[in-house]
Structure 1
Amino acid sequence: MELPKLNGIAALALKRIGLGLVTLWVISVLIFVGVEALPGDLAEAVLGQSATPETVEAFRKELKLDMPPHVRYFSWLGGFIRGDFGNSLANHRPVVDLISWRFANSLFLAGVTAMIAVPVAVLLGILAALHRNTLFDRLISMATLSTISFPEFFVAYILIALFSVQVAIFPSIANINDQMSLWQKLYAIILPCLTLALVVTAHMMRQTRAAIINILSSPFIEMANLKGLRRLRVVVLHAFPNALSPVINVIALNLAYLVVGVVIVEVVFVYPGLGQLLVDSVSKRDIPVVQASGLVFAATYVLLNLLADVLSIVSNPRLRNPR
């Protein structure tokens, strides 16, 4: 009897993966069309006005700008699938070398932030649901609504003013390199991690609270209360496990935001991540780097959304056993 259940989960997972691949293909088309729609000639913009027509024409052939757009699109997409992102126009280095180190830094920042934000958000969500409609619950709700309302750059500048200017405990520039130890890197990224944690913790905490409160109205929770079980045990051992599906979903979505939505925070703290590289490449019109960075961000976001869908299916009995 277990085999049909497994097949049902596999079918749902494959359907989600297929939709994810289609979404990623549509995003790749939008990225290519958006770059194509940029005003001006790329070859002339890179070489400058002093370049001769022969040099411009030779550079256009090197960039394959003399080919039809659809040919260039499939050539670029095929190279991306093979791991060949081309060469940077700014420094002529392979794009994959530029992106790999920067993307690893963005993942490091997102991972450290997640290790802080996820446990705090889940714990606060459980406590808020446990003490529903009390002063503690209202204070937590007000604090989380406030952090959601403020944009990331505003929170970042407030933290810089407090902890880098007034008190001077942490650096205002989160510059890391491979020669630094783990503790030195953690010390350097404390402020950007705190900025991101204040934003994503609010979303995850409120979803956790709402999911647990929704489960608390279920008949099996009423039965547990009638048996005289302690409120804390009812919430932690009975309500929270049954609320995992929406909680996992919102955690995965916020992890996706941590990876692909850190552009503003990286620019504010001059952090050497993929978001900072994307902004620098846009200002230099380094199109291969811009296209590759955008598609890497999109692939990461789609992958984490797929992971959220699959984990939601696995953790939700009603999705595992549809009627």
Structure 2
Amino acid sequence: MILSLVAKRLALGVLTLWLVSLLIFAITEILPGDVATAILGQAATPETVAAIRNQLGLNEPAWWRYLQWLTGAIQGDFGISLANQRPVAPQILGRLENTLFLASVAAVIAVPLAISLGLIAAIKQHSLLDRTISLTTLASISVPEFFIAYLLIFFLAVQAGWFPSMARFDADMGFLEQLGVIVLPALTLVLVVLAHMMRMTRATVLNVMAQPFVEMAELKGVPKWRIVVQHALPNALAPIINVVALNLAYLVVGVIVVEVVFVYPGLGQFMVDAVARRDIPTVQACGLIFAAVYVTLNMLADIGAILANPRLRHPR
């Protein structure tokens, strides 16, 4: 039963990713303007435009170019960058490592902190601490990430001078030096995703706390913290796993704005630069990688929820 459900989720994930690849290719195809003319700029003449279109294969039917692109992408070949005439894959790899490093640091801080705060808020329901945590997280949800980033830059970089305002990241730096550089972008991501995970943890645990078996444990005199940790939390794992996975996906996919604000050399910044240069192969590759990460994490969330909740393994 479990293997069958997991296989279905995997098949659905692959189908979703294929549909997304179609959408990415179609969107880049219908962008206004002509790629060949944009590349040539002022040197564009009918002859040079025709030559560059032939060189890039733009005269081929769209469906044939899509099949070639998809086949290459499956093999790890995303084509040649139109901006520098270099293979796209090696350029993306380093940027992806930087993005994953930033997202991993934020996740290591945000996930345990969010779950802990959610449990504390559930244990201390209706207390001043619970109201303070809920109000703070609600304010965090309501503020866009770029605004949080600019506030952190103003107070912690400009006014206090504790951290650099720009994340000048270099692979040759030591680990501690790298952590010092990404403090502000990582803190921005933590504040953005922390609220969603904390509020979901609190709401889910409180929903389980209303069940009859929890009331029975309370009548037996079991301490509330023990009820929450040993009884409510295991039964609330499925939705918590889902919201954690969604926020982890956001840490990778939604990091674009944060990378642009802090000029962080990640995949999001690389994609924005490629859009500005109209580097279509690079844009397509970045979009497909972001989609693959998002779909994969959602698929893992579904599988984790199935394993954590027996009721999902035996649907009625």
Q: TM-score range by the shorter chain?
A: over 0.9
Matched letter for residue 138 of structure 2: L
1:11 aligns with: 4
Question: Which residue in the other structure is 2:161 paired with?
Answer: 168
Q: 1:200 matched to which residue of 2? A: 193
Tell me the alpha carbon deviations over residues 217-255 of structure 1, each in whole angstroms, 9 at most, x when there is no partner. Answer: 112212221221111111111111111111111000000
Residue 285 of structure 1 is matched in structure 2 by: 278
**1:122 aligns to 2:110 (yes or no):** no
- Structure 1: runs of 5 or more not aligned: 1-7
CA–CA separation in structure 2 for the residues paired with 1:242 and 1:271: 40
Tell me which of 254, 259, 262 is aligned to 1:261. 254
Aligned equivalents of 1:77, 1:129: Cα separation in 2: 48
Which amino acid is the alignment partner of residue 265 of structure 2?
A: P
In structure 2, what is the equivalent of residue 3 of structure 1? none
Given the two structures, how large is their TM-score scaled by the length of structure 2?
0.98
1:112 paired to 2:112: no
What's the TM-score once normalised by structure 1's chain length?
Answer: 0.96
Q: Secondary structure at the match of 2:63?
A: helix
> Which residue of 2 is the match for residue 33 of structure 1?
26
Provide the rounded CA distance (Å) in 2 between the counterparts of 1:100 and 1:226: 57
Note the 1:1-323 alignment, pairs <5 A: 8-323=1-316
In 1, Cα distance between equivalents of 2:253 and 2:45: 40
Q: Distance in 2 between matches of 1:243 and 1:308?
A: 14
Q: What is the CA–CA distance in structure 2 between the aligned matches of 1:22 and 1:119, rounded to whole Å?
A: 32
Structure-1 separation of matches of 2:287 and 2:113: 31
Measured after TM superposition, the shift of residue 54 of structure 1 is: 3.0
Distance in 1, matches of 2:35 and 2:86, equals 18
- CA RMSD of the aligned region, Å? 1.0
Separation in 1, partners of 2:211, 2:110: 29
- Separation in structure 2 between the aligned mates of residue 298 and residue 62 of structure 1, nearest angstrom: 29
Q: Which runs of 5+ in 2 are unaligned?
A: none
Equivalents in 2 of 1:146, 1:111: separation in Å?
24
Cα distance in 2 for partners of 1:31, 1:322 equals 35
Amino acid at match of 1:238: H
- Give the C-alpha shift of residue 155 in structure 1: 0.2
User: Distance between the aligned counterparts of 2:258 and 2:61, measured in 1?
Assistant: 38
Runs of 4+ in 1 over 4 A off after TM superposition: none
